[in-house]
Structure 1
Amino acid sequence: MDRRKSYEAWGVFGALVLGLLMRLIPAKNSIVDGDVLFFGYDSFYHLRRIFFTAENFPTTLWFDSYLNHPLGLDLTWPPLFDQAVAAVAILFGGGIRAVEMTAALAPPILGAGMILTVYILAKKLFGTRVAILSAFILAIDPKHIGRTHFGVADHDVLESLLIFSALVLLTYALSERDGRVWFGAAAGALLAAVAYTWLGAPIYMGAILIYATIQVALDLRGGARTQETIVPLAATFGTALLLILPFWDEPWLVPSFFGALGSLAALGVLCLLSRLFAEKKVTWIAFIPAVAVSGYAAILLGYVTGAAPKAQILLSSGLDYFFLGGAAGQRIAEAAPLHRTLDFPSLPFLGFAVALLGLGVAISSASRPRLPRDRALFLIYAAFTLVLAIFQVRFLYLFSISGSILVALLFFWASDRLKASGRAGPSTTKALSIALLALLLLPSFVGVGEIGRYRPEVSGDWMETLDWMEKNTPATAGYEAPFRAAEYGILSWWDYGNWILYLSERPVVANNFQAGARDAALFFLSEDEVEAVAIAEGRDARYVATDAKMVYSKLPAIASWADEDPESYITIYTHWDLVTYDHKKRFMGTILARLHLLDCSNLGHFRLVFESNNSVGLIFPTREVKVFERVSGATISGTTSYEKPMGAILEMTSNQGRRFQYYNSAIPVDGRYEITVPYSTDATTGTRAMGPYIVGPVEDFVGGDFREVEVTEEDVLSGRVVEANF
């Protein structure tokens, strides 16, 4: 091996090792006493499904009664990621530790595989120096690391690796005359694997079709044979369709089936149109408009005739999801458009701008009559992922992959021009080039410094709460075979559903698939306890879990799910890094406020049973996480001569030793009052009373006519009436 090859091999190896180490650093905050705490929210449901698959291999979970309690939920996640992780875990013994460690290690290993794939593509298209720098840039890219580090057990990393590997194979299919069909077929196999990994695989098929349309137009401009573009792509979609066919009518594969079938049909139309243009000598400039008109006419004809209604629905919903964020586009942070989440000026914005400049350089250098097909494919894919990221910030990780090559191109473009100018000596030019590279990589360098501080979102107060929930709430049946509704469910905001399900092993009303999210929102923002109880009873929710984020940062999203104006509950002011919250009077009347901030005062059917250790908030100091129990409530009732409100006060202490006061009241009717209360006075552990209820006229509590009333736990659970006459 000559010295140049040796340097190249060591460079690639160094990038792989660096990238793997960067992605393993978060393990130091993720492994606690030998157990793995996973990051994010979706990871926890992947773990549930991986465990089920490992125990029932190769069968996976397609219906889960522990979701959307008590209705259950059909699952439409394609299974390949979960099945692959389960299969590897089985090879290592299949126990709890084997499954969790395999799932935690899969993202960094696959992420390192992406670094190698980027190197291969960049070397083919732009040469060795761009390839090695691209590999190093991706190795330290914080956006990519954020999706591929230890403990992020999600399908994103496998899906992106598969589609980018398919892209590499397509570049060979489009540039190598020998074996182009075989390269295209191999790319089709990987495209089918993407379909078995992600429900949104048709978006990549759409990107390839966009490329095909533009490339055929370029072929017509240059007088090249359009078959050299269409044939390998037909092999790609044909192979993908064949591999999809065995399960084509499964809900999780139907979109990809129609995507592959429609793509083959679209290639046929491109072939016919290109021949017509060549024979009639129509200008190539009209080709793309002609394709657009033909596509629109086909869609319009389908709507008019009612042909393929399922395909039309899938097309409409797919476009809505990717470019408008779908039904939850305004309610989920990662589905928000880029301009709402990327602050200007900021280092993340600088990183995005650098990649954008690189794309501009790549496009300008490619503006020549005979742009190679493989380069055109890369540029169109990069532009397409850029558009996805602009519409939804969650797709920034996709753009970061091609962005690593674009940044490398930008650096060498600027560096070469600096050298060619001859205005500075060799040492000065070298120093300026190093400074330029440091500037381009500054956002990544800063992001790398943050990696060591990555902590699983579930750690801390939520982990304490989930552990308590598992040990102190009644166990439910069917966790390992979730095919029938369990005895009761837990209602929380959907963000936390997967945590409760996986770590506490309890059914949830709402989880990260947004099933049950609207009912949860309506419950928390209800201003009437009767209405809230009806929702909880309809969902058979025995416990309710809340946290401070629901009161603050998540409140606008909760309001949006309930079709309410967030501004009627809270106004959020942001000034640089300072965020302040201004709660409105309406919010204080909601069930959420009365639960989390007022410890169930003015409620008769919910009681605090647990709160976590840490306190948050200045205006409304409260514990980070709280758990409440829905109970029948005891009714303190009796005769009274008072016509003004009668009240009941109870001195309480929480499980953390925090003292608080419960209060409720009622207006007498026809000389009789009824006050429903949720706390008993005979509990001796956990959240408990410090004495009896003090019951009397609200206006005359101090030194006036009042009664001390004892309420037993049985009274509360059975809904008994406790007499206290005046």
Structure 2
Amino acid sequence: MVAFLMRMISYSAATANGSINLMGYDSFYHMRRILYTTFNFPHPLNFDTYINYPAGFEVGWPPFFDFLGALLAKVLGVGNPSLYTTEFAGALLPVLLGVLTIIPLYIAAAAIFDRKTALLGALVFAVIPAHVYVSRFGAVDHHVAETLLSTSAYACFILALKWAREGSLSLASLKTISSEKKLIKSLAFAGASGLFFALLIYTWIGALVFVSFILLYAFIQTIIDLKAEKNSDYLLISSTVALLATLIFTIPLSAGSLRPGLEMSAMYLSWFQVFYVFSMLAGTLILWGFSLYISKKGLDWKYYPAALILISVAGLLSLKILSAESYSFVIEGMSFFLGKGEYISTIAEALPIFLTTDGTLTFSPILGSLGLCFITALGGLFLLGLEWIGEKSKSEGVFFLLWSVFFAYLTLSQRRFSYLFAVNVAILTSYFLWVLLDSFDFETEVKKLAKSVPIHGNNAMITSKAEMETKSKRAEKETKSKKAEKETKSKIKSKSKINNLSGSKQNSQPDYFKIFSSLVLIGLVFIPCILAGFAFAKDQGLIDPVWKDSLTWLGASSPETSYYLDPAGTPEYGVLSWWDYGNWIVYQAQRPAVSNNFQTGVDDSAHFFTTDSEEEAKAIIEKLKVKYVMTDNLMAGGKFGSIVKLAGENISKYVNVQTVNVNGGLQTIATAKKEFTETEVYRLHQLDGSNLGNLRLAHESTASVDDNDTVSDVKIFEFVPGARLSGTADPGQNITATLELSSNTGRKFTYQNEVMSDKNGSFEITVPYSTDNNAGGVSALSTYSLNAGRNTTVSEIQVTEDDVLKGNKIEVKIPDSK
């Protein structure tokens, strides 16, 4: 219940204004797929012409999470859900999956420790911010499913190991397994683990790393067993069954999504996943065979890791020779989890958890996502390492330790993986808390406190009949106990003396200092988590209102595009913005996006926004069939560094960065260079498109963050052929066209464009605005004026909307300046 309530705190914000307000960026594309799957049930959306416009894009996300969302919508809508019901189902799904994750967490913790540790661990997990963030109402993303399925797979594998170890599972015991309940349970849980692994592969393309961990663990545990001269059959049978089940379940689950032929791709569901799981299974069998050889020959255990490391390196080199593509998939996957890659460094959530974007040490992300639980988890990890070292180690305990270290590494390399680490942090925190609470005799003191509280009668409504029955029972007890009382009288006296000497009255009273200290300790863990969870659930991730305002306008005021609900054909035009906002554009405005959160179209977008050439910008727009360009303050500010990086440039080309002493402290100050003011994004967002002939402001968000109301948060520009003002002036003369305008917010601004007449005195200026006020929310306050020198100005130049849309030429007669 606590977990459910924590994740539903965002409900009021997510359902404001009678609609479902989704959280974050990826939620919008997941909802698009849920919507498509619901109305084309059970078929998923695999190729979408509304992203990577105009080429379209094959979606790499496996479909299981979106299928669950569509299935829930079907259930809630009794087979025929409305749009609101579908969106509500998608928003509710992460809450349900998040709450369900408590079950495998409890099972794993109870198997490794005990029930009280499991119960407290479940309570910690219910409020831990990192998981609340990905499982709150409206956060429609597959991360919550990753956590549920990986925890379920590992919990089942832990039980398989536990029953296998306790039942002494071996090759010989398989002959009589039908009579051994523990061994049957072990194999059943190993098979269940494989099923969850297969579902995980069907949910997240990076799931193979979780499968790989089984082989890594088997390798390390076998070394421990060999060193201790223990048989590892129990381990390797469990691992083999789990991986075999993964392989068996993966093929039918993925069959409907596999690409034609025998194509191998790590970016999509393909035969690569099947081949990879098969290689993990083969690797486990090699581990098993080699461990048996080492044991039979009585060789030193050190030969085992040395030989297998050499075999692994040789296998990787062989893969490179036999299939360079598969080898590159493996290397790219390793690079991803190491936090390396062309785009990863520009994604905030993919940064190392202790570093800021500029490489400065920070503790804010770890404290914000895990609170003080991170510190207690480290304490628990350290204590477990001491407790389970050497012969005291249990196979399931070693698995949990390695699992925790593995997820800790993922979190350190990329902060977004803290939602996975939250499971281990919760269990380790619970273990560490109980170690400290036991040192305070917390349970004993609480029992004393409960006994010391006087119990009063309920009220005067107690019936006399009940009183009589009570008196009768007391009389019977007194009669029976008289004899026993006489026999034990001397014993009671002696005990009384001892108790008096030891202060029995004091011992029966609770130690309030211990109780208070224990409560403070619990509060230090839970209160920061609850506060951070409230902040996550209530305030983070909603689409920016100014973006929603702008996208709503775009969807209502721009020409409708085709194939939105059936993206088989190519729509009429696209929208260009930075990739962060692509999913918003596709779902909220229902318009195709050149760049979206799959980092599609990034190269073209980056070059468009950083170019200082109007010709190059126009060529990109025409190539991509773009009709609208969207900018915001961040693209012309904080996000500009990422745009520059992906354009292949260095930020120093555009900005001077200096560290100066301000009031006794160091402060970094960035000063724009001329190169920055000449970029397309600056000229659009900061100058309203002045000096550009084919892009005109069509709409700006109604909210502004600038005190002077000069720059709005989001601006939408329309690409038009533009009217051509042409004429003849003196050779080499600067010709400037000027028009006064008012935006949809009532803000007044001036548009200017300038050219130089050629050697014959001819000139042509392209202008994007009409003077007949037919350009939507932006209207002209004057006619065009043309300045051709200090004393030569031509005014009252009329430009119709038809002139702008058809690229008509308008002759302008410049008076002879002589």
Bucket of the pairwise TM-score, normalised by the shorter protein: over 0.9
Which 10-residue stretch deviates more, 561-570 or 467-476?
Answer: 561-570
Cα pair 2:9 2:534 within 8 Å, conserved: no
Q: Within 5 A, what are the aligned runs for 1:4-153? A: 17-93=1-77, 94-153=81-140
Which 10-residue stretch deviates more, 293-302 or 444-453?
Answer: 444-453
Which 10-residue stretch deviates more, 707-716 or 647-656?
Answer: 707-716
Counterparts of 2:520 and 2:195, CA distance in 1 = 43
Q: Deviations over 1:127-166 (max 9, x none)?
A: 1221122111111111111111000111111121011011
Aligned equivalent of 1:11: none
1:571 to 1:671, Cα distance in 2 relative to 1, 3 A? closer
Q: Within 5 A, what are the aligned runs for 1:203-602? A: 203-246=209-252, 247=254, 249-250=258-259, 251-303=268-320, 306-341=321-356, 344-346=362-364, 347-348=367-368, 350-417=372-439, 426-451=511-536, 453-570=538-655, 582-602=671-691
Q: Does 1:678 align with 2:700?
A: no
Which 10-residue stretch deviates more, 210-219 or 320-329?
Answer: 320-329
Counterparts of 1:570 and 1:96, CA distance in 2 = 47
Runs of 5+ consecutive residues of structure 2 not aligned to the other structure? 168-182, 260-267, 446-506
Which of structures 1 and 2 has the bigger CA Rg? 2
Counterparts of 2:592 and 2:362, CA distance in 1 = 42
Deviation at 1:723, TM superposition (A): 1.4
SS in 2 for 1:69: coil
Counterparts of 1:253 and 1:91, CA distance in 2 = 30
Percent identity over paired residues: 34
Aligned equivalent of 1:723: 811
Deviation at 1:525, TM superposition (A): 0.8
- Give the AA of the match of 1:712: T
Q: Does 1:654 align with 2:743?
A: yes
Cα pair 1:108 1:150 within 8 Å, conserved: yes
Deviation at 1:464, TM superposition (A): 0.7
Q: Deviations over 1:231-280 (max 9, x none)?
A: 01111110111122234654324443233111101101101221122122
Counterparts of 1:199 and 1:193, CA distance in 2 = 11
SS in 2 for 1:665: strand
SS in 2 for 1:564: coil
Deviation at 1:206, TM superposition (A): 1.5
1:147 to 1:56, Cα distance in 2 relative to 1, 3 A? same
Deviation at 1:355, TM superposition (A): 2.6
Deviation at 1:680, TM superposition (A): 0.8
1:465 to 1:710, Cα distance in 2 relative to 1, 3 A? same
SS in 1 for 2:634: helix
Deviation at 1:661, TM superposition (A): 0.5
Cα pair 2:354 2:363 within 8 Å, conserved: no
Cα pair 1:325 1:335 within 8 Å, conserved: no
Counterparts of 1:88 and 1:476, CA distance in 2 = 29
1:578 to 1:468, Cα distance in 2 relative to 1, 3 A? farther
Counterparts of 1:413 and 1:282, CA distance in 2 = 41
Q: Could you state the TM-score of these two structures normalised by the residue count of structure 2? A: 0.82
Aligned equivalent of 2:486: none
1:55 to 1:482, Cα distance in 2 relative to 1, 3 A? same
Q: Within 5 A, what are the aligned runs for 1:585-664? A: 585-617=674-706, 621-641=710-730, 643-664=732-753
SS in 1 for 2:205: coil
**Equivalent pairs, count:** 703
1:213 to 1:367, Cα distance in 2 relative to 1, 3 A? same
Which 10-residue stretch deviates more, 442-451 or 369-378?
Answer: 442-451
1:530 to 1:578, Cα distance in 2 relative to 1, 3 A? same
Runs of 5+ consecutive residues of structure 1 not aligned to the other structure? 1-16
1:254 to 1:363, Cα distance in 2 relative to 1, 3 A? farther
SS in 1 for 2:591: coil
Counterparts of 1:661 and 1:37, CA distance in 2 = 36
SS in 1 for 2:354: helix
Counterparts of 1:307 and 1:417, CA distance in 2 = 59
- Give the AA of the match of 2:281: L
Deviation at 1:558, TM superposition (A): 1.0
Counterparts of 1:118 and 1:79, CA distance in 2 = 25
1:578 to 1:432, Cα distance in 2 relative to 1, 3 A? farther
- Give the AA of the match of 1:706: V
- Give the AA of the match of 2:644: A
- Aligned-CA RMSD value: 2.4
1:639 to 1:411, Cα distance in 2 relative to 1, 3 A? same
Counterparts of 1:128 and 1:488, CA distance in 2 = 59
Deviation at 1:686, TM superposition (A): 1.0
